[in-house]
Structure 1
Amino acid sequence: MSTLIEKSLDNSYSYSEYRNHISSLLQNGLSTGATQSEDLTNYSSLNEVRMNRLDKTIKLTDDIKERLGKLKKEHILLVISEGWCGDAAQIVPVINKMANETDKLELEIVLRDDNDELMNEYLTNGARSIPKLVLVEKDTHIARGSWGPRPHDAAKLIRDYKEQHGVIDQVAKTELQKWYLHDKGESTMKEITLLLENAENM
């Protein structure tokens, strides 16, 4: 597995490189990923606006800052993402804020469609759902856990909606975006911090 992690890291972007890559593709009417469509380009444009807003507004809570400050091991937060993904737009900026808070964390992002082997190791109920965070111990490149594609309560919202209506439609997607807006990234922070704390004890 560490060979796969190393291969993926060789193919990764920093947060700023990831943002610039999405922007430059959009200037040519394109999105990231193997499939191109007007819808995906529109989602990417919308997500760029969301990420710009979150970069300015997301704040780590005092509790999260304190807990991140106690980390002893160095970790790489290896995130599988795509520019058109609405969940990724809400989550990756939060992970970036966490990584910027401490020198114990480094964020690296890979594109799902360019990294099939890694994605297939981290399926969610058999699906290539993103974003997916793989927690990698920096000195050994051993994976110590994974998280995603959504915080627990957001995943429950979508699961309950699908059970009730049989589909994930635009109403469900709007409800999910409202949930993210209200949550302000706090569930993502808490769940990833807990993953980090558990990895410290391995």
Structure 2
Amino acid sequence: MEEIIKASLPKSLTYFEYRKLVTDLLLEGKSTGPIQTDDLLHYSKLNETRMNRLEKTIVISPENTERINLLRRKYIWLVISEGWCGDAAQLLPIMHKMEVLSDNIDFKIVLRDENPALMDKFLTNGGRSIPKLIVLDKETLEVLADWGPRPKEAFDLIKNYKEKHGVIDEKIKTELQMWYLHDKGLSTQNELIELMRLLEIQE
């Protein structure tokens, strides 16, 4: 695992480098990743709009701001993502706003399809679901925890729909985006803060 992490980190991007990459590719009519389809390009365009909006509207709650400032250890938040991923578009702006509040979090993003060995260490029910947050000790690069691909309530929404209907279709994708809209990022904040709290008390 350590070798895979070490191989992936040099290819990682800051949040703003990731945003620029996605934007530049869109100007060329492309999405991230080796597979280019009209659907992936369409989703990437939607996500660009979503992320622009979320960067302006997402607010980290006062309680979570206070709690994130209590972190003592230094961490890397390494997130596996792609520009066409709807969940990533909803969650990365929240993670970015959280890391800005803490000197102890270094936020990095790697592309899923450029890092298959890393992705395959963090599968969800056997699938390459993203985004996936990997929490590393900044000094040792030890994997301390992982989280994703979405908050529990949103995860259950998708899981229950798939069990009932057998597919993930546009109807549930729209429902999921509405869930994110009404949640305003609070579930993600709370789950990540609790994850970090547990890591701090395990020290």
- Normalising TM by the smaller chain, what interval? over 0.9
C-alpha distance in structure 1 between counterparts of 2:136 and 2:194, whole Å: 15
State the Cα deviation string for residues 68-90 of structure 1 (Å, max 9, x = none): 01100011100000000000000
Aligned to 1:190: 190
Return 109-118 or 154-163, whichever deviates more: 154-163
C-alpha distance in structure 2 between counterparts of 1:133 and 1:105, whole Å: 13
State the Cα deviation string for residues 133-177 of structure 1 (Å, max 9, x = none): 000111111110100001000001111111222211111000000
Aligned to 1:4: 4
Return 82-91 or 6-15, whichever deviates more: 6-15
Aligned to 1:121: 121
TM superposition score normalised by structure 2: 0.98
AA partner of residue 169 (structure 2): D
Q: How big is the shift at 1:7?
A: 1.4
Large movers: runs of 4+ above 3 Å? none
Equivalent residue of 2:125, what SS? coil
Alignment root-mean-square deviation, CA: 0.8
AA partner of residue 111 (structure 1): L
Equivalent residue of 2:120, what SS? helix
Unaligned stretches of 5+ in structure 2? none
Count of residues paired in the alignment: 202
C-alpha distance in structure 2 between counterparts of 1:142 and 1:66, whole Å: 26
Q: How big is the shift at 1:3?
A: 2.2
Query: Percentage identity across aligned positions?
Result: 52
Aligned to 2:109: 109
Aligned to 1:22: 22
